[in-house]
Amino acid sequence: MKFSNGCWLFKQGTSCFSPAEVYFTKIENNKVVLCAPTQHITSRGDTLGGINLTVTVTAPMPDVLRIQTEHYRGVLKKAPSFDLNIDGNAPIDAKEDEDSITVTSGSLKLVVDKKTASMTYYRGDEKITSSTGRDMGYVKTDWQGLPYDDGSIKDTYMRQMLSIGVDEHIYGTGERFTPFVKNGQSISIWNEDGGTSTEQSYKNIPFYISDRGYGVFVNHPEKVEFEIGTEMITRVEFSVPGEKLDYFVINGPTMKEVLTRYTDITGKPGLPAPWTFGLWLSTSFTTNYDEETVNKFVDGMFEHDIPLQVFHFDCFWMKDFSWCDFTWDSRVFPDPVGMLKRLKAKGLKICVWINSYIGQESVLFDEGMEKGYFVKRKNGDVWQWDMWQPGMALVDFTNPDAWKWYQSKLSVLLDMGVDCFKTDFGERIPTDCVYYDGSDPVKMHNYYTYLYNKCVFELLERKRGKDEAILFARSATAGGQKFPVHWGGDCWSDYESMEESLRGGLSLTLSGFGFWSHDIGGFENTSTADVYKRWAAFGLLSTHSRLHGSGSYRVPWVYDDEACEVVSTFTKLKGRLMPYLYRNAIETHKTGIPSMRAMVLEFTDDPSCAYLDKQYMLGDSLLVAPIFNDKSLGKFYLPEGTWTNFFTEEKKEGGKWYKETVPYTQIPLYVRENSIIALGNEEKAVYDYEDNVTLKVYELQDGRTAETTVYGKEKIQKISCSVSRNGSNYTVKIKGDALGKVVIGNKEIPFAGDMETTVTV
């Protein structure tokens, strides 16, 4: 939110009260408390009135500092608040002298100047960001002077501004389809259902990350307003309504370490089961379908040699006007239990569409209304409107009985044979309403999705086991990464939408989310065969892959014969890559470093990677550059080093841009030097990855060692491999009771269990 009128003035009627000095300090109970009056205290009389800010500094964990600023402490703290992994504050390392207070957490250091209340953050002796006393402030937008201020907290805000340095780039804030680098953008952390072609976002995360190796998490579930190099060009400003501001500064020094620490606080990405990485096929949204149609789709995929892993029933598995009643439309699905058994006999998992909205025609509406399971209006009425479903109500997940009731309806579907749920919607949540537990409806607007997805995910964990729980979710807030996987929402079916979808996904994975998907071919309208084929290659080299659309089917044969070949080729390729992908997924789950990552995350020191948003790293070793034009022209940048074309084995030197013409059955897919790629011996998502695995060594540099691990389906490490090079001699070490081969250049070295050998290549 912008409060200023240029560098020196505020908007008319607006006044900002910023710390003028630190008057006194208390260091106790693992915290530093600063009394920061907003006027200089020159005499005792100056203490008789005016606005003071209380600043509390704690260290919840090493290399993290938490800053809490308050005006009126007596304002009630209203639910909800983010579910953070903070048991208590770590012992504080604080030193005070006549001029400053220094607080240290690991290698992160905050120095507060007592005379000016400026705050400077260091990594060791390196400054990373700072604020002047003027940057922090308590803002009133209806200010008429202190004698006329009645203490009302309406039209009040807390703000902070942190500096941006020369050549510093800001990323994150959730899944955003606007420019990838956030400098120069005004961003509202406010979930909305706006598609992928506007500044609105389904997944708003009050967290940003800098390529200087630090991040800032604003610990407020309500609307947070970011002004990133807008109101003040050299500042990131963030503001929240009310009397308090709570934020964390998170040190790296690498961007990866920032994400690891941020997800230590908000939760690690859940680990999706291996089958979820296979191809998902949907009925699409408003199409007509029944069991015969579904079987034609499924059998058609197998007939075209396309491994299919999941079949998804979208909205109209339920009767129209009845969403959600969680009851199969008997007019087209007279035997749902039998149908699910028949589909599962073909080796498929089953997903069905749901949301948390209960239309008035649903058989569940009266039950939910009578038992008080819905969000209410202030007068006690059920909150309803006619958008999305006539007379629609919202399940109130703050009510424990409503939570159990909702789970009980889904549990019936799981007993039928459904494996997972697409948890759609959860963005247009009202603020003029009342929740069972008295939660603040403004704070609940963004937080509602967390409770909604948590409710469904916990049921899946209970009924299917923790290793099998999976969602296909659209909306999210901070912490939503614990309930994977998320997809990009409603996009159009053209190259521009394909590009903006990728941009949004890379922004999301720089915000703590490990896995991401999108609608292959686009959602709205129907793409050309050309776009569909290029999108299929991109989609099947994303962590999760789903064919889905709006008013038309997305099976490849409705486009052309070559589309079937393309989908088959890339589905099989993804299957062979599963030992590599699953290893990266496990590391994502452990560390918070995303499996699908922006180039800047992997190559932060390469200035050419700062703005790259049309290519990405899939895991730590594969570079993917989707094609976004109808000329079959691939344009991409390779960072320093030697890169190998996965398909052709052609070598290219890095530090350069390239253009190449690429057939539909290929994509610019390059392997980083000093990598070992584990390739499975099957072309589907689920099999024994360690069985006859091929460990292919790419461009191992002299004096270097490359390492990799192959996990079994049960997350058990089955093989560890290291290869070291000394001149033309390569030393191969294998540990694990499994069969396979190591490939170095034209040499194949078979192994069966533990082995160490040296070969000359």
Can you give the three-state secondary structure of 240-286, one letter per residue? EECCEEEEEEEECCCHHHHHHHHHHHHCCCCCCCHHHHCEEEECCCC
Residue ranges in the chain modelled with pLDDT below 50: none
Give the end-to-end CA distance of the chain in Å, rounded to a whole number. Answer: 62
In this prediction, residue 501 carries a pLDDT of 98
Token pair of 749, please?
């070295």
- Angle 561-576/578-591 helices, nearest 10 degrees? 60
Cα separations in angstroms, 518 against 81, 133, 511, 598: 29, 44, 17, 16
In this prediction, residue 153 carries a pLDDT of 82
**What are the residues whose beta carbons fall under 8 Å from the beta carbon of 427, sequence distance 6 or more?**
191, 192, 193, 202, 449, 474, 475
Q: How far apart are CA 422 and CA 189, in angstroms?
A: 23
Handedness of CA 474, 478, 484, 488 (dihedral sign): positive
- pTM here is 0.97
Place of tokens 């200035």: 607
**Where is 519: in which H helix or E strand?**
strand 519-520
Strands (E), 39-148: 52-61, 64-70, 93-96, 100-105, 108-113, 119-123, 126-131, 137-140
In this prediction, residue 29 carries a pLDDT of 86
Place of tokens 């009302």: 152
Token pair of 657, please?
């841009």
The answer to whether the beta carbons of residues 193 and 202 sit under 8 Å apart is: yes
Cα separations in angstroms, 312 against 350, 547, 610, 707, 734: 6, 9, 37, 38, 41
Token pair of 268, please?
């690690």
Q: How far apart are CA 129 and CA 160, in angstroms?
A: 12
Q: How far apart are CA 10 and CA 2, in angstroms?
A: 9
Place of tokens 């033309």: 728
Kindly give the pairing relationship between strand 349-354 and strand 310-313.
parallel
In this prediction, residue 144 carries a pLDDT of 86
Q: Diameter of the chain by CA atoms?
A: 87
- Angle 561-576/529-539 helices, nearest 10 degrees? 10
Residue positions annotated with a catalytic role: 424, 427, 490
Q: How far apart are CA 701 and CA 682, in angstroms?
A: 30
Domains, the chain, ranges and CATH?
4-193+203-251 (2.60.40.1760), 274-591 (3.20.20.80), 596-668 (2.60.40.1180), 688-760 (2.60.40.1180)
